[in-house]
Amino acid sequence: MIRPDAELLLDITDLHAAVEDQPILKGVNLQVRAGEVHAVMGRNGSGKSTLSKVLAGHPAYRVTGGSVRYRGDDLLELEPEQRARLGVFLGFQYPVEIPGVSNLEFLRVATNTRRVAQGQEELDTFEFEDHVRERLKVVQMDPAFLERSVNEGFSGGEKKRNEILQMALLEPVMAILDETDSGLDIDALRVVAAGVNQLAGDHNATVLITHYQRLLDEITPDFVHVMAAGRILRTGGRELAQELEQTGYDWVDQELAVQGVA
Amino acid sequence: MTGSTMAPLAPVQQRGRQALERLGLPNRGQEDWRLTNLKRLETLARLPLAKAPSDIPLPLAPDAGLRLVLDGVHDPLDGVSLPNGLSPLPTAELQQALGHTLDRCGCAEAWPVELNHASSQHVLALRVRGEAPPLELVMAGGAGLTSTRVLLLVEEKATLELLQVCLSEGASAQSHVLEVHLGQEAQLRHGLLAAADGEASFLAHLAVEQEPRSSYQLTSVVQGWSLGRIEPRVLQVDGQALTKLQGLAVTDGEQQLATHSSVRFDGPEGELDQMQKCLAAGRSHVIFNGAIQVPRQAQRTNAAQLSRNLLLSERARVDTKPELEIVADDVRCAHGATVSQLQEDELFYLRSRGISATDAAALLLRGACLDVINQLPGLADRWQPLNRVMQGLSR
């Protein structure tokens, strides 16, 4: 929902970033207000995933210019864990498997860290079990997955459900979901999308990074951005996603050529 | 006479002392000792015998099970009434059996065994029948060298859960030799928890003979020894038995810890499932040597060995070496070794959920250790093995 007077959560200005000295982001500008859902689309290699990793603070990505303000503060100064505690959440495209670390224990430690940052009481083991079982309903996940190691041996769909479960537990202010639709069949996609819709509200915002229109059939974006060559090339409403579905990304090359970037 | 006495040890001691004089200290020319910190071995060999038990506090003895304390000084069976299923070995039988398994396993003349024989003052020798209650052996010698010697004859179809705990502090050393004979269809679930403060040394030989259809499962968790050397030696005398070896070796500071395992199949259709995990921090050095022998008569052997090593600092060192000798042609033998560091992606994943870098690293390490620790016999819980291991790692 677009409300021009809503709080400005994320303010990205001329962001440049590199990985191993290879420039990837070349001047990204993006503003996200509370209550909004943004979709960032674009081809492979356009910089979408890099943008999400830079926002979450992945140490392999180096910011070389520009600024990111989160609720008025400099986000780039913060460690990844500090960002998470303040409500920035990255849903991973490829959630990491961690053998030997119990999923339940991991979820409890993460949830309590966020709760403490929000000035809430920590949940003990029993309280957390009740809490997590309640939240499992958001993603219709089998409780058996709590007993396993983090993401170990999970199918693609189960990993993505586990990501949204973490989102449901951490109650982020700014959720960035990186290709959450990849590897999902249509039923799993609907479950995951329903979860995201259920968690979206007036006080938080979501940035969906996606290749395809089909996720946007389930989650209606307020804004659609097309990334190319490390920048946002075009911004529009939900109709832009539909247009992309029909015309593809060929126009991107022409536009980049006109701008002398490609 | 009871199963724990000095008399049968006199000739063994004599032979051990003569052997030590003849052998001298191991040297780098010997393949098995090539990587060993020999200076520390020399210090260990010069320690006087411990005269008193250690004063490290122990948790309460188990409700369901028997605890015996081996301090090297006192007879561990003194004042103990053994429960059903456990009985002392008569002297004549003890004399006949002592050293037999070591001999069959090819390690009767190994230097650590001779050292143990030269310095042991007691031998705990037990027969195990039927469903014996869990047995906890606590090796707790004080300052100096403590030598402990155990012999277990586990009869046909008998089952036993055995936990050995060895704790040490300061300038002390523990020498331990265990011999086990597992009769047909016997089952032994064996845990070894050996932890120290970084100063003490530990030499252990665990020799096990398995008759057909017996099952032997060893889980060892070893941490914090200035010089540690654990040598599980298993012989399947006629194949057709199951052996499972799982080890966790954790080192930090300047510690050195070596695991030299050897499994031999002297008959067909034997099975081995082995996993050795090593975590090395600081400037420590961890060594794994895993020998598997599959001679011609050991057809249809199924053996798997995996060595997984985690280097927690740039100055830590790992040496890992599988040694497979396979003569039989119809066998399945798999082996593998990995050496890695904490994965940046795993750390970032945890940090992106609000968990601090330090906590994330600890969580990953706990995960790596729990894999093995969870396999210790239930008796081990009271000893808080995970806490001991995590405290031993400075990070």
Tell me, yes or no, if A166 comes closer than 8 A to chain B by beta carbon. Answer: yes
Choose the closest CB to A98 out of B357, B367, B369: B367
> Is the pLDDT assigned to residue B2 strictly greater than 70?
no
Least confident span in B35-44, B188-197, B363-372: B363-372
Residue A255, both tokens: 């536009």
Q: What is the pLDDT of residues B79-120, one digit of tens each?
A: 999 999 999 999 999 999 999 999 999 999 999 999 999 999
Can you tell me the mean pLDDT for A199-225? 92
* Number of domains observed in the structure of chain A: 1
Choose the closest CB to A96 out of B346, B359, B370: B346
Please answer yes or no on whether A100 and B346 come within 8 Å at the CB atom. no
- Give chain A's end-to-end CA distance (angstroms, integer): 35
Tell me, yes or no, if A170 comes closer than 8 A to chain B by beta carbon. Answer: yes
A89 chain-B contacts, CB cut-off 8 A = 352
Q: Exposed, middle or buried: residue B31 (CB in 10 Å: 0-12, 13-18, 19+)?
A: exposed
**Closest chain A residue to B357 measured between Cα atoms?**
A81
Chains A and B: how many Cβ contacts under 8 Å? Answer: 76
Tell me, yes or no, if A8 comes closer than 8 A to chain B by beta carbon. Answer: no
Tell me, yes or no, if A147 comes closer than 8 A to chain B by beta carbon. Answer: no
Q: 3-state class of A140 per DSSP?
A: coil
Give chain A's mean pLDDT. Answer: 93
CA distance A99 to chain B (A): 7
- In this structure, chain B runs to a length of 395
Can you tell me the mean pLDDT for B228-255? 97
Percent of all residues in chain A with a pLDDT value above 90, rounded to a whole number: 77
Q: Exposed, middle or buried: residue B247 (CB in 10 Å: 0-12, 13-18, 19+)?
A: buried
Tell me, yes or no, if A95 comes closer than 8 A to chain B by beta carbon. Answer: yes
Please answer yes or no on whether B364 and A101 come within 8 Å at the CB atom. yes
B365 chain-A contacts, CB cut-off 8 A = none
B348 chain-A contacts, CB cut-off 8 A = 58-59, 80, 96
Can you tell me the mean pLDDT for A13-36? 96
Largest CA distance in chain B: 66
CA distance A3 to chain B (A): 29
* CA A83 distance to own-chain centroid: 13
Domain extent listing, chain B? 9-392
Choose the closest CB to B367 out of A79, A89, A99: A99
Residue A73, both tokens: 């503060």
**Closest chain B residue to A57 measured between Cα atoms?**
B352
The answer to the question of residue A144 being in a domain is yes
The answer to the question of residue A2 being in a domain is no
If we measure between CA atoms, which residue out of A190, A191, A167, A194 comes closest to residue A178? A167
Please answer yes or no on whether B351 and A81 come within 8 Å at the CB atom. yes
Q: What pLDDT, on a 0 to 100 scale, did the predictor assign at position B9?
A: 83
CA distance B382 to chain A (A): 21
Q: What is the pLDDT of residues B304-350, one digit of tens each?
A: 999 999 999 889 999 999 999 999 999 999 999 988 888 888 999 99
> Is the pLDDT assigned to residue A253 strictly greater than 70?
yes
B345 chain-A contacts, CB cut-off 8 A = 96
Please answer yes or no on whether A58 and B366 come within 8 Å at the CB atom. no
Give chain B's mean pLDDT. Answer: 93
Tell me, yes or no, if B275 comes closer than 8 A to chain A by beta carbon. Answer: no
> Is the pLDDT assigned to residue B4 strictly greater than 50?
no
Q: What pLDDT, on a 0 to 100 scale, did the predictor assign at position A248?
A: 85
Distance in angstroms (rounded) separating the CA atoms of residues B218 and B163: 10
Name the pLDDT band for A169 (thresholds 50, 70, 90).
very high
**Closest chain B residue to A114 measured between Cα atoms?**
B354
Q: What is the pLDDT of residues A107-123, one digit of tens each?
A: 999 999 999 999 999 99
Choose the closest CB to B353 out of A57, A84, A105: A84
**Closest chain B residue to A88 measured between Cα atoms?**
B352
> In which domain, by residue range, is A254 found?
8-259
Tell me, yes or no, if B306 comes closer than 8 A to chain A by beta carbon. Answer: no
Please answer yes or no on whether A100 and B366 come within 8 Å at the CB atom. yes
Name the pLDDT band for A245 (thresholds 50, 70, 90).
confident
Please answer yes or no on whether B344 and A81 come within 8 Å at the CB atom. no
Question: Which CATH number belongs to the domain containing residue A200 in this structure?
Answer: 3.40.50.300
Distance in angstroms (rounded) separating the CA atoms of residues B71 and B81: 18
Q: What pLDDT, on a 0 to 100 scale, did the predictor assign at position B8?
A: 72
**Closest chain A residue to B371 measured between Cα atoms?**
A100
Name the pLDDT band for B371 (thresholds 50, 70, 90).
confident
Q: What is the pLDDT of residues B280-301, one digit of tens each?
A: 999 999 999 999 999 999 999 9
Distance in angstroms (rounded) separating the CA atoms of residues B372 and A63: 41
Can you tell me the mean pLDDT for A30-38? 96
Q: What pLDDT, on a 0 to 100 scale, did the predictor assign at position B338?
A: 87
Distance in angstroms (rounded) separating the CA atoms of residues B295 and B301: 10
Distance in angstroms (rounded) separating the CA atoms of residues B289 and B60: 36
> Is the pLDDT assigned to residue B169 strictly greater than 90?
no
Q: What pLDDT, on a 0 to 100 scale, did the predictor assign at position A4?
A: 87
Please answer yes or no on whether B349 and A92 come within 8 Å at the CB atom. yes
Tell me whether strands A205-209 and A37-42 are parallel, antiparallel or unpaired. parallel
Please answer yes or no on whether A113 and B355 come within 8 Å at the CB atom. yes
Q: What pLDDT, on a 0 to 100 scale, did the predictor assign at position A86?
A: 96
Choose the closest CB to B355 out of A56, A100, A109: A109
CA distance A35 to chain B (A): 22
Can you tell me the mean pLDDT for A182-205? 90
Tell me, yes or no, if B25 comes closer than 8 A to chain A by beta carbon. Answer: no
Q: What pLDDT, on a 0 to 100 scale, did the predictor assign at position B283?
A: 95
B360 chain-A contacts, CB cut-off 8 A = 81
Tell me, yes or no, if B170 comes closer than 8 A to chain A by beta carbon. Answer: no
Question: Who's near B164: CB < 8 A, 6+ residues apart?
Answer: B136, B137, B138, B139, B176, B178, B190, B191, B192, B193, B194
> Is the pLDDT assigned to residue B394 strictly greater than 80?
no
A166 chain-B contacts, CB cut-off 8 A = 353
Q: What is the pLDDT of residues B116-166, one digit of tens each?
A: 999 999 999 999 999 999 999 999 888 999 999 999 999 999 999 999 999
Name the pLDDT band for A259 (thresholds 50, 70, 90).
confident
* CA B1 distance to own-chain centroid: 29
Distance in angstroms (rounded) separating the CA atoms of residues A233 and A47: 12
CA distance A75 to chain B (A): 13
The answer to the question of residue A1 being in a domain is no
Q: What pLDDT, on a 0 to 100 scale, did the predictor assign at position A261?
A: 65
